[in-house]
Amino acid sequence: MHSLQRLTPTLGMLLGQNATCPDKKLPLTTFNYPSMTLPVNVTETKAISVTFNRVVTNVGFPNSRYTARVASDPCLKIEVAPDTMSFKSLNETRAFTLKVTGEYPAKELNLSSSLVWSDDTHFIRNPIVIYKLLQ
């Protein structure tokens, strides 16, 4: 059951109309969370290939520029585009894409990496975790 399905009647009352929740579960990669996670079923494939799309909002100073730095697990190749983001004003939004590729090693349970956006004063860390589904 979808986690919001039990709230559907309450949502309908709040909205003043019928509310429905889709039966289809959304993949973790579609949520705009700071962390990026991917479960891998290694009995089906050892290949890792995922793209995370994120939208960020400037809550810092106007006229700021952030540069991406990646600390990657050696089994992974991680690419960020764009690798710099400039903001002219407060609450301005920007989008970026993070692509992760690699092959899951036989003996590892988790592959941990991180993306850090920095203007050399502020550091915004985004954890990246690829984990093996246990059977």
Q: What is the CATH number of the domain that holds 74?
A: 2.60.40.2310
Query: What is residue 107's predicted lDDT score, i.e. its pLDDT?
Result: 83
Query: What is residue 2's predicted lDDT score, i.e. its pLDDT?
Result: 45
- Residues in the chain predicted with pLDDT less than 50, given as ranges, are 1-2
Decide: pTM greater than 0.85.
no
Supply the range of the domain harboring residue 116.
26-132
pLDDT digits (tens, 9 = 90+) for 60-93: 889 999 999 999 999 999 999 999 999 999 999 9
Give the residue carrying structure tokens 């309450």.
10
Cα–Cα separations (whole angstroms), residue 3 to 8, 21, 26, 87: 10, 9, 11, 36
How many structural domains is the chain composed of? Answer: 1
| Domain-embedded: residue 94 | yes
Rg of the chain in Å (alpha carbons): 18
Which residues make beta-bridge pairs with 129?
Answer: 37, 112
Query: What is residue 25's predicted lDDT score, i.e. its pLDDT?
Result: 73
| Domain-embedded: residue 64 | yes
